[in-house]
Amino acid sequence: MAVPSEMKAWRVHAYGEEGNPADTISKMTLDTIPMPEPKPGQVLIKVELAAVNPIDWKLFSGGMHGICPVTFPYVPGFDVAGTVVKLGEGVGNVQVGDEVIADLGLVETCKTESPCGPAGAFAQYTVALASTVAKREGIPAKELVGLPLAGLTSYQALFTGAGGDFTGAPLGTLAPGQKLLVLGGAAATGAIAVQLGRAIGAEVATTASPNKMPDGTNKLDYMKKLGADDVINYKEADWSDVKAGANVDLIYDCVGTEEDWPKASKVLKKGGKFVTIANFGDAKSTEDHSFQAFLIKSDSEDLKKLVQFVKEGKLTVPVDCVVPFEDVPKVLTKSMGWASAGKLVIQVA
Ligand SMILES: NC(=O)c1ccc[n+]([C@@H]2O[C@H](COP(=O)([O-])OP(=O)(O)OC[C@H]3O[C@@H](n4cnc5c(N)ncnc54)[C@H](OP(=O)(O)O)[C@@H]3O)[C@@H](O)[C@H]2O)c1
């Protein structure tokens, strides 16, 4: 497949002021840069759509430098849907011409030598580790582009524990009939967790607000539509009061409010788990309940299973809007306001 020698890419040139990621947005530029070359084990993808995740702008502040160092300039963005146009040496799981999705991998791209620095999705072409890529199985890009990062995170939190928590302990053990409480069901990660819990036959409760989805449905009704058995309006009630004594097996926290873990003992059964993807403070497990925080591991085997859930009609990824490539700064700003109602998608090609 003919590949040009240059491409357009959004690039971040410096960290923003601490605690003010919006500051970095003003330093982002849309540049023409040389085409990246896939190394052994990597593939070059022509990007059709990319999707925004909060980590894209959380990286801007430098607050995560200890875990995920970046070198400047780098191309942000992790979620891509596109077509494989070139293979690095030793790649056997995909071919040129395959329509794929990938989470380029936060830890994976920060810790390995990557031609665009970490990430790389907000560009016309990107390089991905072949071990992070899954075929789209004929499903349109728009239905899948928001799946990789949010989907893998929730799948691993609930079921596989791929990378384990920060101590290496396994995470998800959710089983049919167990009780799951998702904090933040309208978040992209939360909406996927609600559906995955439902799909395996768990009893699912979640928190949401009456804010609107793009089709005008309020988020409380949207949660019901996705299969939640019980929806708590977090603007009016405290989930720990509503669910006190409910003997929940797993609380999956997609919000990250520090006050939530101390309240969990009212709701969790003895031996229950509080698994968070957004609270990396000093919280510690107690004798009765475990507290686990973790970072997603990008993995094509888990991603393939998620694509199957979509194919079988058990999982949909809500899309808030699709914006042109030029609007990357605008859509990142929207994500920073926690105001999205589904995935923020960027039309690259
Ligand atoms: N550790 C990891 O590997 C990992 C991986 C993925 C994501 N994350 C983190 O997980 C968090 C969620 O990510 P995401 O992509 O799912 O976010 P997102 O889709 O951007 O979340 C936005 C949603 O959060 C809801 N929300 C905001 N405050 C809430 C509250 N107090 N209670 C309930 N819902 C609330 C909003 O709904 P309303 O309009 O109702 O407020 C909005 O729909 C982020 O902090 C992200 O960085 C971590």
Q: Which residues line ligand 1 (CB under 6 A)?
A: 53-55, 58, 149-150, 153, 184, 186-190, 207-209, 211, 219, 234, 254-256, 277-278, 294-296, 335, 338, 340-341
Instruction: Read off the pLDDT of each residue in 187-215 and give the average, rounded to a whole number.
Output: 97
Confidence class for position 90, pLDDT limits 50, 70, 90: very high
Give the pLDDT of residue 112.
65
* Three-state secondary structure call for residue 222: helix
Distances (CA, A) of 67 to 109, 199, 254: 12, 33, 20
Q: Residue 123 has which token pair?
A: 């560009």
CA 72, CA 118: separation in Å to the nearest integer?
9
Buried b (16+ CB within 10 A) or exposed e, 30-54: eeebebbebeeebbbbbbbbbbbbb
- Helix (H) / strand (E) element for 148: namely helix 147-155
Mutate to test the pocket of ligand 1, among 238, 277, 306, 335 (most ligand atoms within 8 A of CB): 277
Is 311 buried (19+), middle (13-18) or exposed (0-12) by CB count in 10 A?
Answer: middle
CA dihedral (60, 346, 37, 304) positive or negative: positive
* Ordered DSSP codes for 67-95: TS---SSB----EEEEEEEEE-TT--S--
* Three-state secondary structure call for residue 305: helix
Residues with Cβ within 8 Å of residue 8, at least 6 apart in sequence: 30, 31, 32, 33, 123, 124, 325
Q: Which residues pair with 244 in a beta bridge?
A: none
CA 266, CA 89: separation in Å to the nearest integer?
54
CA 60, CA 23: separation in Å to the nearest integer?
9
For atom 27 of ligand 1, which residue has the closest CA?
Answer: 338
- pTM of this prediction? 0.96
Q: Helix, strand, coil shares of the chain as percentages rounded to 5?
A: 25, 30, 45
Tell me what the pLDDT averaged over the chain comes to: 93
Q: Is the peptide bond before 214 cis (omega within 30 degrees of 0)?
A: no
Note whether 226 and 190 are within 8 A (CB): no
Note whether 196 and 309 are within 8 A (CB): yes
**Type of residue at 247:** N
CA 74, CA 68: separation in Å to the nearest integer?
13
Ligand 1 centroid from CA 150, angstroms: 10
Instruction: Read off the pLDDT of each residue in 252-278 and give the average, rounded to a whole number.
Output: 97
Confidence class for position 26, pLDDT limits 50, 70, 90: confident
Helix ranges restricted to H, 156-205? 188-199
Instruction: Read off the pLDDT of each residue in 151-162 and give the average, rounded to a whole number.
Output: 91
Does position 74 have pLDDT exceeding 60, yes or no? yes
Radius of gyration for the alpha carbons in the chain, expressed in angstroms and rounded: 20
CA 162, CA 172: separation in Å to the nearest integer?
9
Q: Residue 74 has which token pair?
A: 């780098």
CA 323, CA 336: separation in Å to the nearest integer?
16
For the chain, percent of residues with pLDDT exceeding 90: 81
pLDDT digits (tens, 9 = 90+) for 296-307: 999 999 999 999
Instruction: Read off the pLDDT of each residue in 69-83 and give the average, rounded to a whole number.
Output: 93
CA 210, CA 206: separation in Å to the nearest integer?
13
Give the pLDDT of residue 117.
63
For atom 38 of ligand 1, which residue has the closest CA?
Answer: 209
Confidence class for position 218, pLDDT limits 50, 70, 90: very high
CA 91, CA 84: separation in Å to the nearest integer?
11
Our CA angle for 235, 240, 244, nearest 5°, is: 135
Does position 229 have pLDDT exceeding 80, yes or no? yes
For atom 34 of ligand 1, which residue has the closest CA?
Answer: 184
Ligand 1 centroid from CA 168, angstroms: 24
More confident residue, 162 or 206: 206
Residue 190: which of 239, 254, 236 has the closest Cα?
A: 254
Q: Is the peptide bond before 170 cis (omega within 30 degrees of 0)?
A: no
Give the pLDDT of residue 329.
96
Ligand 1 centroid from CA 185, angstroms: 8
Helix ranges restricted to H, 285-336? 300-311, 328-336
Ligand 1 centroid from CA 85, angstroms: 33
